[in-house]
Amino acid sequence: MDATTATPSLRRHSLDVVLRHAWRVDAFTASDVIAAIGVTRSTAIDVLDELTARRLLSEMPNARAVGEYSKGRPARRFAFRPDVGVVVGVDAGRGHLTTTVADLRGDTIATSRLTVDPERDSPERRRRAAEATVDATLTRARRRRSDIVALCVGVPAPVDRAGRSPVHHDRFWERMNPGFVDTFSSWSPVVRVENDATLAAVAEHARGDAVGCDDFIALLAGERFGAGIFVDGRLLRGKHGGAGETVAFDRVRGVGGAEGLAPRCVAAARAALASGALPADSPLRDLDPDRIDAKTVLDLAATGDAGALAIAREVGAALAGVVGIFGSLFDPDRVIVSGAIAEGADPIIRAAVDALPRAVDLPAPRILASTLGADIVSIGAVAAAVDAARDNALDLPLFAPTADRARA
């Protein structure tokens, strides 16, 4: 490789590593960059000046001015500018659309939520609804479309590397992902569309129980099972985006389908009520079968109700089967039960932990309840948008050097 090709490559590498350092820290000096990254002082200063010209950094009052330096030449101080643009995360669930506008570090500025009727859904209605929620949230955040650096949409469908979903026999995936990558291509210079369970895994890796973990499964477990899979520090996707699809559970003895923990709790409670298997003192005996929900069952299990605990053990055995499958296929360190159901899932998880050694030959993964709550897909969408913004910032016209922007 000759100098004419090596120099731009080295320059780009230096810009990238310094920007990544700046993105995750507060105010810093050239010496901090040198210590953290290992570039020379001249390179550090040169790169910091260019990133400042690109508006990604701002120069702060020097160290002497803020009382951190008393002798010699005062050090120049810099800070990343998270407010120079915004990212947008959209959780486009089956019955809702939740949009978050955040700064470039992922700190929320504004959020909007729209309930949609899945029975009256269509690709065109879903596109219009998504556009409306993003516009409304930008207005609430006092930002414009031109401020968007990256946008990520999470959908309950497989998504390939290009952001598109395969054709499904009943067109469900087409309704859930009606070409969002095209819908928002004129809104944002970077558009990322992902499966919702994949974004749950992104959220766990960024802010949850998988920070620093390279091998884990984020198991969305509410209405249906869906899995976001990290192996060797990388998200698994598959050719059509179906790496975490769970339709194969229909053929697994002891699991019996892709239904999540919530409908399993309800079905088990109704069966116990109908058969008379519930203890005489269980409050579940007094409930209308049509009004039983998972939260009630799990709340009673948490109080020690024997009937609800028996239901949790039954559902926990099925969860152990699910975890055993993922444990055998991917050898994760942990499986994180995610989504709104996680808040009350401890009785199910305890039962699954007891049953798990019989379901896997490898060392059993830990089973944890996520702490990120019902908004985990939104959290993951914002985190994925931040990742996309960071990965692409140096190539975006918004952050081109001043002279290049003037020529454009």
- Identify the CATH number of the domain in which residue 167 sits: 3.30.420.40
Whether 198 has a pLDDT exceeding 90, the answer reads yes
Rounded CA separation 27/21 (Å): 11
Residue 315 carries which side chain, given as an amino acid letter?
Answer: V
Mean per-residue pLDDT for 230-244?
95
The reply to whether 231 and 317 lie within a common domain is yes
Q: How many domains does the chain have?
A: 3
Spatial separation of the C-alpha atoms in residues 149 and 290, rounded to whole Å: 47
Amino acid in position 115: T
Q: Is pLDDT above 90 for 402?
A: no
Q: What percent of the chain has pLDDT over 70?
A: 93
Same domain, 238 and 302: yes
Could you tell me if 114 and 223 lie in one domain?
Answer: no
Q: Is the pLDDT reported for residue 5 higher than 50?
A: no
Which pLDDT score is estimated for 2?
A: 35
pLDDT at 404: 59
On average, the pLDDT of the chain sits at 92
To the question of pTM greater than 0.75 for the whole model, the response is yes
User: Of 244, 303, 300, nearest to 268 (Cα)?
Assistant: 300
Q: Where do the H-state alpha helices sit in 208-291?
A: 261-275
Among 203-217, 223-237, 240-254, the least confident range: 240-254
In this structure, the strands spanning 226-231 and 216-220 are: antiparallel
Domain end position, chosen among 80, 100, 117: 80
Domain identity same for 27 and 96: no
pLDDT at residue 7 above 70? Answer: no
CB atoms under 10 Å from CB of 140, counted, come to 14
Same domain as 357, residue 239:
yes
Is pLDDT above 80 for 90?
A: yes
Report the pLDDT averaged over residues 315-340: 95
Tens digits of residue pLDDT in 49-61: 999 999 999 998 8
Helices (H) and strands (E) in the chain, counts: 13, 13
Mean pLDDT of 147-175: 94
Q: Which domain holds residue 166?
A: 85-208+376-398
The model's pLDDT over 98-120, given as tens digits with 9 standing for 90+, comes to 999 999 999 999 999 999 988 88
Same domain, 221 and 358: yes
Show the CA angle centred on residue 86, arms to residues 206 and 99, nearest 5°.
Answer: 70
Residues 42 and 107 occupy one common structural domain: no
Whole-angstrom distance, CA of residue 87 vs CA of residue 110: 11
Residue-level pLDDT at 1: 35
3-state helix, strand, coil in the chain (%, to 5): 50, 15, 35
Q: Rg of the chain over CA atoms, in angstroms?
A: 25
State yes or no: pLDDT of 201 exceeds 60: yes
In a shared domain, residues 201 and 258: no
Which of 80, 96, 130 corresponds to the end of one domain? 80
Q: Is 250 found in the same domain as 125?
A: no
Q: Are the beta carbons of 22 and 57 closer than 8 angstroms?
A: yes
293 pLDDT above the threshold of 60: yes
| Rounded Cα distance, 213 and 232, in Å | 9
Nearest to 342 by CA among 189, 218, 213: 218
Amino acid identity for residue 231 in this structure = V
Domain membership of residue 304 (yes or no) is: yes
CA of 229: how far to CAs of 131, 200, 245, 259, 317, in Å?
29, 10, 10, 19, 22
CA distance 251 to 304: 34
